[in-house]
Amino acid sequence: MLYMVIEYFNAGAAPEIYRRVRERGRQLPPGLEYVDSWVDLDYFRCFQVMRTEDRSLFDVWAKAWGDLAHLEIIPVRASKEAAQLIAGQL
């Protein structure tokens, strides 16, 4: 399943977040896959697409980053899949 993760950086935490990623990697537990990400121009939010079949893995990952950011985790589907699923209601 795909998830959109909105990571809200704590004020002034962006340099430490990037330092930690450089030194320790993303700290993803096995079974949680990073797909891609985008960061806003002010280094306030990072929008990430992640994949997993086990939603509880986000709790493990969030704990590793809880001192620098908090996460909003939203289950999503690809637009093509959404169109196919809703086609019968059109």
- For 24, 32, 64, 79, 85, the CA distances from 57, given in Å and listed in that order, are 18, 6, 11, 25, 27
pLDDT band at 8 (very low <50, low <70, confident <90, very high): very high
Q: What is the pLDDT of residues 21-59, one digit of tens each?
A: 999 999 999 999 999 999 999 999 999 999 999 999 999
CATH number of the domain to which 6 belongs: 3.30.70
Q: Which domain holds residue 47?
A: 2-89
- Structural element, H or E, at residue 51: strand 45-51
Query: How many domains in the chain?
Result: 1
Interatomic CA distance for residues 56 and 37, integer angstroms: 21
